[in-house]
Chain A
Amino acid sequence: MERWHAVAAVVFGYLLVTLAVGLLAGRRVTQSVAGYVAADRQFGLITMYFVTGATIFSAFAFLGGPGWAYSRGAAAFYILSYGVLGMAPLYFLGPKAGRLGRRFGYVTQAQLVAGRFPSRAISLLFALISVAAFVPYLMLQMSGAGIVFSAVTDGHISFELGAALAYGVVLVYVLAGGVAAVGWTNVFQGVIMMVIAWALGIYIPTQLYGGIGPMFDRIAEARPELLVPPGLDADGSPWSWGAYSSAVLSSVLGFLMWPHTFMKVFTSRDDDTLRRTVVLFPTFQLFLLPLFFVGFAGVLFPTAPERPDWIMPHMILSSGLPALVVGLFCAGALAASMSTGDGLLHGAASIAIEDGLAPLVRLTDRQRRILMRGLVVAIGALAYFLAIVQKQSLVWLLLTAYGLVDQFAPPVYAALFWRRATTKGVLAGLVAGIATNIFFLLRPELRPFELHEGILGVLVNAAVLIVVSLVTAPQPEEHADAFVSAREEPRTVLAGAGR
């Protein structure tokens, strides 16, 4: 038997187990929209922890992170900084948003914003931007699955077929089980990812250089420019501080604004569960370190991969590990890709229906579920098609998507914290922010200080929101107050406020 046969066997075994876990979990949830989207608000701490971690760490961290460390050095460190800072606000605003969700029956962040600022246009814009941002993020995940398959099987399973296989499995369990399936498969995938990352991150530098310290000694001698931020640009020239810093800031701002991440506020059982998830979150962030070690291990390695994003599988294949370990890595990387991709697919489809279509057309619970499933397939197919034709780096895809979701930050914060904000202000800010973001995405050479287009968009977005709000009539005090000072209500009142 050839080596790649054994690797493929481990991977297929893994895919089957994932499928089984997903299908079993999906059978336990009620068949309502709330059940399909928010898992009956029943996630406990362990599920929430792994769902959050596994959803956030994706092919981006597993392949893109090492790819940047390898080709652009300390530029990749921006990824170390934004996760915790992006997650921390959830500790303070999560319980408040969660209470509002329980009181008014919100399952998406657009419903929360449109609840405070009643406007179909705002809801529709949220839906459009969400789907537009989800597509590059999904492309990244699918490319990741394709890279892993094709690299470890010496191209016997092509990039296209590999991506199709992994996402075929994802489609089946997302269609069958909704978010509950996503939750339970992520618990399983989160554990696999963490173990594999640390094992490889310590093994590879030790085997090649005699340890992590000695590896950095060698790099400090040969390529010192790789070890100090802001690191290098894609062409090998020094990256600018403006670009590095605004990559951090735009990711911090956008982090919680990802609709699938924000939705966790509505899926968690209670405030304490949500808070504890935030407290434990930095432990997930530390798992980037071993992944960077593998990328750095490639810097002085005699052979180079075809493209920087392939460095992780390249190093694993070059270090003479047994087929079982290679297969397990493959499973870990696929877990990373799939555990994010499933949430994205599910999130994109439910948001398109809940926020894009539901405010315009009357839909029964059954119609919504059917439409949601159709959209899961359609969005998956679109992202797959784009993934197999595009050639950008994985990190670039995510940074571009972040520019779009950043524009949600001013409306969400205004809804929760600023009484004087008005519907017209929010709508004008949103339109101006999106326009600015798209303009600088298309004309990158015009960016001041090479700042990320998302940050430039947010600056315009927030400024317009404030100015227009101040010159339009304020909202009724009682209405704004219900959102800005949402206090804990007695359980009996909550039970009566049916949803």
Chain B
Amino acid sequence: MRAAVAHRLAIAFFIVQTVAVVYPGLVPFSRIEPRVLGLPFSMAWLTFWIVASALVLWGVSIVEARSRGED
């Protein structure tokens, strides 16, 4: 995958995330059940996005480092 493509996918991911953590995207997930690891679902949902962001950013940085290696 080229770095520019990875960048675009990451930006799309962050836009989806922005919608998912405010009104109206958050409304369906603003609930207590089902509980995840003891946390209310709303808290787990918002935590999920933090962890997913870490993975996405990490992935982009790997793609970028590789594509620079090829130059």
A residues contacting B by CB (< 8 A) are 74, 77, 80-81, 83-85, 88, 91-92, 211-214, 216, 220, 224, 227-230, 241-242, 244-245, 248-249, 252, 275-276, 278-283, 285-286, 289, 292
Contact = CB atoms under 8 A, between A and B. Distances in A.
B12 interface: no
Contacts of B2: none
Contact of A212 (B11, B18, B39, B61): B39
A91 B60 contact: yes
Interface of B: prevailing SS: helix
A248 B39 contact: no
Question: Which of B14, B21, B39, B47 is packed against the most chain A CB atoms within 10 Å?
Answer: B21
A92 B51 contact: no
Contact of B18 (A77, A85, A275, A286): A85
A279 B58 contact: yes
Nearest to B18: A85
Given A80-B47, A249-B22, A286-B51, 19 more contacts: A74-B30, A77-B43, A80-B43, A81-B21, A84-B49, A84-B50, A88-B10, A91-B60, A92-B7, A92-B11, A213-B37, A213-B39, A214-B38, A230-B23, A230-B30, A241-B23, A249-B18, A275-B61, A279-B61
B22 A88 contact: no
B54 interface: yes
Nearest to B43: A77
Contacts of B11: 92
B32 interface: yes
B50 A286 contact: yes
Contacts of A244: 22-23
B43 A285 contact: no
Interface of B: 7, 10-11, 14, 17-18, 21-24, 26-27, 30-32, 35, 37-40, 42-43, 46-47, 49-51, 53-54, 57-58, 60-61, 64
A229 B57 contact: no
Interface of A: prevailing SS: helix
A245 B26 CA distance: 9
Contacts of B58: 279
Contacts of A241: 23-24, 27
A272 to B, nearest CB: 8
Contacts of A74: 30, 40, 42-43
Contacts of B30: 74, 228-230
A80 B44 CA distance: 11
A227 B32 contact: yes
Contact of B53 (A214, A228, A282): A282
A42 to B, nearest CB: 22
A220 B40 contact: yes
A221 to B, nearest CB: 10
24 contacts: A80-B50, A81-B46, A81-B49, A84-B17, A84-B50, A84-B54, A85-B53, A88-B57, A92-B11, A213-B39, A216-B38, A216-B39, A227-B40, A227-B43, A228-B31, A229-B42, A230-B30, A244-B22, A248-B21, A248-B22, A278-B57, A279-B57, A283-B54, A286-B51
Contacts of A85: 14, 17-18, 21, 53
Contacts of B39: 212-213, 216
A212 B50 contact: no
A326 B32 CA distance: 33
B54 A77 contact: no
Contacts of B31: 228
Question: Which of A81, A92, A224 is packed against the most chain B CB atoms within 10 Å?
Answer: A81
Contacts of A92: 7, 11
Nearest to A245: B22
A62 to B, nearest CB: 18
Contacts of A228: 30-32, 40, 42
B33 to A, nearest CB: 8
Contact of B26 (A229, A242, A289): A229
Contacts of A252: 18
A497 to B, nearest CB: 23
Contacts of A281: 57
Contacts of B14: 85, 88
Contact of B32 (A80, A220, A292): A220
Nearest to B40: A227
Nearest to B20: A81
Given A279-B61, A286-B50, A77 B42 contact: yes
A280 B30 CA distance: 28
A230 B37 CA distance: 22
